[in-house]
Structure 1
């Protein structure tokens, strides 16, 4: 044994001992943080409940009613310090109004999560973000990003609206269809590309790989990365699929080709070849047929319509945006002049 290597009774050296203690303390701190978060959410829900019950009892009248939250804010701040601004107390009141049944409040989410959820007026969208946030363990920043990019609305625009709304009301497991796992447009603002900045397809691919965690968040639930520049060889000629993923809920491969220009019928034809090859040569037992997406700067729905067969269910084209559009821009893209 080396002179500077001390052993515990269990035979661990100092590094092993430190690592074991650190792991234990980190776990304890996470548990403490979760307990604090749960207690905070519970307390703020109760505050909202008391305020609403006070109002419903007829105690809030005329000019005094307008100032009750301001009064509470001043007194609670003086007593407990920060966290009781008029804005935060209004959120507590709204929190209770949105979730009047206590067991519908998820203890896994922090108050910061709920503050963002409360700002979503559409109840179905709010429930969707809550369920996805819990299932995918979104951070507060990730939840904020998904809300700001209208992730729910983009998903809804690509799928059967009534079916989506029905799914959100039930926790029953289901197998997704290809149409149900595709967003359009894709928002790639996390790449940091400035509007008008020129880049090559290889640059775009490299940036997506370097920000893979962000891209997986944008893709949605259940994706795993499989390959980059996947080579397939036909009679000695090599072809390369830019990105390959696997979607677990849909049980299928997703093939993505990146195009920095407007979509062409040749792009769709090339993707059709890739999908045919994967279908015939690379599917595993139990897999559903692969899905192909041509991700392009400008999508032409007419080209797509007349290039693909009417019953095509495996090939799609989607537009990507490298900046964060305004909600008005997104609504125009999703719904045009016929917003639903």
Structure 2
């Protein structure tokens, strides 16, 4: 950098970092103020409507006139549609003060969240968006992939309620699992023919997306990770580490139907990692066989009672039907 010393470079970088953090803080502050203002505008509209004698007609009239006046004074952003959304925003968020009582998300996020009719589901996505700093695009993807329904399927009514109050809390291996895993980002049609190596490569090519689908705490370790004993070589398709669970997570990919041999092979992989790879302070290894089809009875018979290390989950390469998943949740209850 033009003959600058290392000390000078570090000094300039610290100053630049300080300015970047200040700018980000200003943007967050402006965003929060804007959303809070929209909430208050919505409140004023609702209160004014309630004071009118003929609510429906008066409501349309007052929003129309307000739109004209605000647009004339402040410019774009105050169309009738936008004002109606501010009114809806107040209706939705004045009923239940949750994490978003502080309005830490962008207005675009709230426009999406408001369209989620189920209050528990809306609260879940609100908490997860804030906790994971999801962009609007990622929030939309998680909603489209039915994350809430997929997590709710493995929980009782109390567990489903906790999702809406606390988000996804990971305390044990089962908490981090999904069934199915949705891999639509790979761009593979549902009936497309591909090999396991092609499938693996597609996941690696879209690793960032796959990590988001895996969920909280996952870091990538490697693919086709080899280990050897008795002069025989074995390879684990994908190895991850979960920082929350403090353990290795091994994933084997199967493009066909799950067999008991697949589960037995994963058991061997997990045993090896537990005995020769994991450190003393780390928790037991988790093994996931990711397959196109599975038989729950086969899994139950093959794995030991009380198993909490080996799991099998389906994957699908197209977005699931949220309606079908909701029906499964209702019948389960």
TM range (shorter): 0.7 to 0.9
Deviates more, 1:250-259 or 1:97-106: 97-106
The match for 2:252 is 257
Shift of 1:298: 1.8
The correspondence of residues 203-282 of structure 1 with structure 2, limited to 5 A, is 203-282=198-277
Comparing both chains, which one has the higher relative contact order based on Cα–Cα distances under 8 Å and sequence gaps of 6 or more?
Answer: 2
Q: Give the total of aligned pairs.
A: 331
> Quick one: distance in 1 between partners of 2:123 and 2:99?
14
**Aligned with residue 130 of structure 2, among 119, 130, 134:** 134
Deviates more, 1:146-155 or 1:246-255: 246-255
The match for 1:191 is 186
CA deviation map 1:125-180 (0-9, x unaligned): 22221221122111111111111111111111123441342365359x97611111
The match for 1:105 is 101
> Quick one: distance in 1 between partners of 2:324 and 2:68?
40
Shift of 1:257: 0.7
Name stretches of at least 5 consecutive residues in structure 1 with no aligned partner.
none
Shift of 1:40: 1.3
TM-score between the two structures when normalised by the length of structure 2 = 0.86
Shift of 1:106: 3.6
Asked whether the 8 Å contact 1:246–1:253 carries over to 2, the reply is: yes
Closer, same or farther in 2 for the Cα pair 1:137/1:230, shift >3 Å? same
Closer, same or farther in 2 for the Cα pair 1:11/1:80, shift >3 Å? same
Q: Secondary structure at the match of 1:316?
A: strand
> Quick one: distance in 1 between partners of 2:242 and 2:257?
27
The match for 1:309 is 304
> Quick one: distance in 1 between partners of 2:7 and 2:267?
61
Aligned: 1:165 with 2:166: no
Shift of 1:231: 1.6
> Quick one: distance in 2 between partners of 1:5 and 1:287?
47
Asked whether the 8 Å contact 1:225–1:246 carries over to 2, the reply is: yes
- RMSD of aligned C-alpha atoms? 3.1
